[in-house]
Amino acid sequence: MENLMATLKAQIVEQLNLQEVKPEDIGDDMPLFKDGLGLDSIDALELIVLLQQHYQIRIANPEKGPEIFHSVRTIADFITAHQQQNK
Amino acid sequence: MIRNNRIYRNNEVIWETPEDQSLPDFLRAAYDHFSGQYPKFHKMDHLSKLGWLAAEVLLQHRPFTGYAPEQVGLVLANRSASLDTDLRYFDSIKDFPSPALFVYTLANIVMGEISIRHGFKGENAFFTSDTYDEGLIMGYTRQLLYEGAVSAVLCGWVEVMGSAYEVILHQVEK
């Protein structure tokens, strides 16, 4: 889980072009939107692309988005659950 | 004015980098020099970065003060519209379409970025023409001022296609 979260942080910085943020600046439980990392709705779409591109996961229910993309930890939890489900 | 990796204000060079520096590197260096503290800059396409930087250079020096947001307008023009970004987006479709690029596939987004930064909410227009028709832009601007639609206007030319670019911005007030 720790490795996955570290990888995700690097991928988020790269995919979202956050040139003034280092992966280690992103806390595991830091909210990614609004007062946390300050991501916006376009970033949310980029996160969906990131999951498809790197983890071959499609978000079946868009209403789950805010829950899945709350923090790096919630994304990692979602990926782990999805991978276990597909074993 | 921004041209050949030089930034001019009132016809004087106020900052420059070597002419062989690439456009992305020049834009990043100019941002670091004139602004910083605006992370959204890095997500913009080249057209928006150029317009945003030119506005920054002018308005830091001489802000539009004393106007309501609705009283400040924008009138811009260029040759290639958003084609530079359209082609990059087209390239991204072959793999995964990029939402971040897609939002810049309209030429007038540069005016949105400048408006967000400076809080402008007045009339705006974006024209495309082969060359910079200063008469048209100034005529349109004068008409907006004459009608009372706005009291101040940022107007001019913001062009980019590949590595070729040119920005000419003017501040016009009643």
Residue A46 lies in a domain: yes
Task: Give how many domains chain A has, as a whole number.
Answer: 1
The whole-angstrom separation of Cα B83 and Cα A61 is 34
The verdict on a CB contact (< 8 Å) between A19 and B100 is no
Residue A36 lies in a domain: no
Containing domain of residue A59, as a range?
2-26+41-85
A49 to chain B: closest CA residue: B96
Mean pLDDT, chain B, whole residue set: 96
Residue A35 lies in a domain: no
* pLDDT tier, B159 (very low <50, low <70, confident <90, very high otherwise): very high
pLDDT in tens, B80-98: 999 999 999 999 898 888 8
What mean pLDDT comes out for the span B74-83?
A: 98
B98 to chain A: closest CA residue: A46
The whole-angstrom separation of Cα A75 and Cα A71 is 6
The verdict on a CB contact (< 8 Å) between B98 and A21 is no
Is there a contact between B71 and B152 (Cβ–Cβ < 8 Å)?
A: yes
pTM: 0.91
Residue A12 lies in a domain: yes
What phi, psi does A28 have (nearest 5°)? -55, -40
The whole-angstrom separation of Cα B90 and Cα A68 is 29
The whole-angstrom separation of Cα B164 and Cα B161 is 5
Residue from B27, B28, B32, B43 to probe the interface with A (highest A Cβ count within 10 Å): B43
Distance in Å, alpha carbon of A76 to nearest chain B alpha carbon: 21
Interchain CB contact of B96 with A (< 8 Å):
yes
Q: Which chain B positions have a beta carbon within 8 Å of A41's beta carbon?
A: none
State percent of chain B over pLDDT 70: 100
Residues 6+ apart with CB under 8 A from B93: none
Containing domain of residue B88, as a range?
2-173
Which strands make up the sheet holding B124-128, listed edge to edge? Answer: B12-16, B6-9, B2-3, B164-173, B152-161, B72-78, B124-128
Please tell me the predicted confidence (pLDDT) of residue A38.
87
Among A38, A40, A51, A69, CA closest to A11: A51
Task: Give how many domains chain B has, as a whole number.
Answer: 1
Structure tokens at B60: 């830091």
Residue A33 lies in a domain: no
The verdict on a CB contact (< 8 Å) between B100 and A17 is yes
Residue A77 lies in a domain: yes
For the beta carbon of residue A86, count every other beta carbon within 10 angstroms: 8
